[in-house]
Amino acid sequence: MKNLLIASTSTVHGGEYLDYLLPTLENHFASCNTILFIPYARPSGISHDEYTEKVSVAFAKINKKIKGLHEFENPVKAIENAEGIFTGGGNTFVLVTQLYENKVMSVLAKAIENGTPYLGTSAGSNITGVSMQTTNDMPIVYPPSFETLGAIPFNLNPHYLDPDLQSKHMGETRETRIKEFHAYNTLPVLGLREGSWLDVKGSKIVLKGELTARLFQQKKSPQELEPGSELGDWS
């Protein structure tokens, strides 16, 4: 049975890395002593080692050890044997490119399908959708495919921001960009606000946190979904 936590962000305003999620993660990874960390997204271009150390400090607070995927000679076997998996945020284009180049995208999807506990934040959440096409990130590298894990039957837009009506900024809003996506695609998109996450158990997907999420569907008005809502049946 699939067992995922899909979070919009790793850090909320005024908080430390992963702190707001730690009580939930302690339960989520209760059966794990060591968690496999996928550092490929490299936020701000930090190294895999630096990123893994940052994650290790956070998980030490709940007495969990972290091992970076880049430390293994055989990343396929590392994922297949993992007790639990965390994919961190950063650049989704870089993350997806590395997952394909290391031949682990399908392996990761299979591990998730088989019930390995998974945590994604930001880019690590983006890849749980059907495709990465609704990411906010700059295309600094070109992945072999936009297709991702398909662990949930829709796409995500993490870090979703509502338009600021007082702002003089005239660039595109997140809502505008998602509407552009729906000019060519029928897949629903969930705008996940900061401090919110999805709890996935099997086929059941529940919105967690204190904020609503914004659902976008082709040729329909956006809809606000309340915390505690069960998601996914949007045909």
Query: All domains of the chain, ordered by start, with CATH?
Result: 3-231 (3.40.50.880)
Residues facing residue 131 across a β-bridge: 147
Half-sphere exposure in the Cβ direction for 221 (13 Å, CA): 2
Q: How many Å apart are CA 44 and CA 91, to the nearest integer? A: 8
> Which pLDDT belongs to residue 165?
64
In this predicted model, which residue has the larger pLDDT, 233 or 84?
A: 84
CA distance 188 to 182: 8
Q: For the whole model, what pTM was predicted?
A: 0.95
Active site residue 122: yes
Spot the catalytic one: 28, 70, 159, 182. 159
pLDDT of residue 162: 77
Active site annotation includes 137: yes
The span from the CA of 50 to the CA of 220, in Å, is 44
Question: What's the whole-number mean pLDDT along residues 33-62?
Answer: 97
Backbone angles phi, psi at 111, to 5 degrees: -60, -40
> Which of these is catalytic: 8, 10, 70, 122?
122
Rounded to whole angstroms, how far apart are CA atoms 208 and 24? Answer: 11
